């Protein structure tokens, strides 16, 4: 059985409010469940592909600081 994680995330959140998306992200981070990492990766992919070069540099520097 093949699961398309991207499609699942898009379908599950297409009608979600920003508050609902925020709550989901915060819950995934707080719970520290490995199973939520692919979904967070989809959110990062969405963020990255919809960011300009300046925003991408900010994302990269923020990740680097956190590591």
pTM score: 0.86
List C-alpha distances in Å: 21 to 27, 39, 51, 54. 10, 11, 18, 24
- The pLDDT tens digits of the residues spanning 9-59 come to 999 999 999 999 999 999 999 998 898 999 999 999 999 999 999 999 999
Torsion of CA 56, 61, 66, 67, to 10 degrees: 100
Nearest to 59 by CA among 24, 46, 33, 34: 46
Can you give the C-alpha Rg of the chain in angstroms?
13
User: Residue 2: its pLDDT value, please?
Assistant: 75
């Amino acid at each position: 059985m093949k699961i398309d994680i991207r499609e699942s995330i898009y379908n599950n959140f297409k009608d979600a409010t920003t508050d609902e998306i925020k709550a989901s992200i915060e819950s995934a981070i707080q719970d520290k469940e490995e199973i939520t990492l692919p979904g967070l990766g989809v959110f990062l992919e969405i963020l990255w592909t919809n960011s300009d070069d300046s925003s991408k540099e900010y994302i990269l520097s923020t990740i680097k600081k956190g590591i």
